[in-house]
Structure 1
Amino acid sequence: MGLNVINLVGRAGADPQVRYFDSGKVLCELSLAVGRRSSKTDPPDWFKLKIWNKTAEIAANFVRKGGLIGIQGELVIETWTDRNTGANRSSPVIVVDKLELLGSKRDNDSGSINSYQEADEF
């Protein structure tokens, strides 16, 4: 039995980048900065997020650079061949299943935590 679940809370590093496909699927890509509990002076860890479909649309509409969000997803290692050098490359990516909009009342009109979970396959 295997388990691949990641939970993170952090701040959006930039506004979301959204792509719409002819198939009707939607992809939102976003960076997430997560500070370490052990040290307030160390720089944050950065994570690349991929969010699909309805949850992607919600992220595109409500997440902004600096906004506090919580995510749950799985770690995927994407691999490709560099076009210029022909070298094999890889990058860790979090494929998000659940998105929570966190923050103060000023950050979020309703002032509450809003949770969104992808119900369909991507």
Structure 2
Amino acid sequence: MSINRVTLLGRLGADPEIRRLNNGKLVANLRLACEERWKDKSTGNWEKRTEWMPVVIWVEHLVELVEQYVKKGDALYVEGKFQTRKWQDQSGADKYVTEVVLQGFDGKIELCGPGRKGGSRDDGDRDDRRGGGGDDRGSGGRSFGGGSGGGSRGPRSMTDDLDDEIPFAPEFR
């Protein structure tokens, strides 16, 4: 028995790439930056490492919601599974990529962070939600599930202040 389940919390490095394939199916490609920060005990300096995770969404209604609500810099909580693809480049060499895939009923994506009230916004308030203002912690995020009912168990919000001892310490519902 085995489990292929991936849970990520990170920031989108670019706007989602939405494509319609020849067969009419919609697909979204995301690049999620998952950052790890820690304080070096010997120097006292903050260190960080960023892993860029490719995310592919095959569930059409999730693709449509991502296209409507998700933009570069947004904090996302993603649940999916690892999948490795193989292809050949122009010279005939085998190439591989491992991606986090959301398809069927087992994928979930949730918009997290300050400024999210009910998950909707227009591009006009983008600067307002990134700049000053109060802490919107507890205002909730926008959760998009792969299809099964039930509430979200992912993080509800995430603070932009990553300078404390525990980075990415989101609140849970």
With the shorter chain as reference, the TM-score category is 0.7 to 0.9
- Which residue in the other structure is 1:119 paired with? 147
Superposition deviation, residue 25 in structure 1: 2.6
Determine whether 1:72 maps to 2:79: yes
Gaps of 5+ in 2: 40-45, 119-138, 149-173
Provide closer, same or farther for how the CA distance between residues 86 and 23 of structure 1 changes in structure 2, counting only shifts above 3 A: closer
Structure 1 residues 25, 118: CA separation in 2 closer, same or farther (over 3 Å shift)? farther
TM-score (norm 1): 0.86
TM-score (norm 2): 0.62
Aligned to 2:49, the other structure's residue is in SS state: coil
Q: CA deviation at 1:117?
A: 1.3
Is the strand fraction higher in 1 or 2? 1
Determine if contact 2:117/2:141 at 8 Å carries over to the other structure.
no
Aligned partners of 2:77 and 2:112 also within 8 Å: yes
Specify which structure has the bigger relative contact order, considering alpha-carbon pairs within 8 angstroms and separated by 6 or more residues: 1
Which stretches in structure 1 are left out of the alignment for 5+ residues?
none
**Contact kept in structure 2, 1:26 and 1:54, CA below 8 Å:** no
State the shift of 1:23 in Å.
4.5
Report the RMSD for the aligned CA atoms in angstroms. Answer: 1.9
Q: 2:74, 2:6 → 1: CA distance? A: 19
Q: Aligned partners of 1:21, 1:76: CA distance in 2, in Å?
A: 19
Structure 1 letter corresponding to 2:64: E
How many angstroms apart in 1 are the aligned matches of 2:33 and 2:17?
16
Regions of 4+ moved over 6 Å: none
Per-residue deviation, residues 9-31 of structure 1 (Å, max 9, x unmatched): 00001000101246543111110
Identity of aligned residues (%): 29
Contact kept, 8 Å, 2:37 with 2:49, in 1: the verdict is: no
Q: Which amino acid aligns with 1:34?
A: C
- The letter of the residue matching 1:115 is S
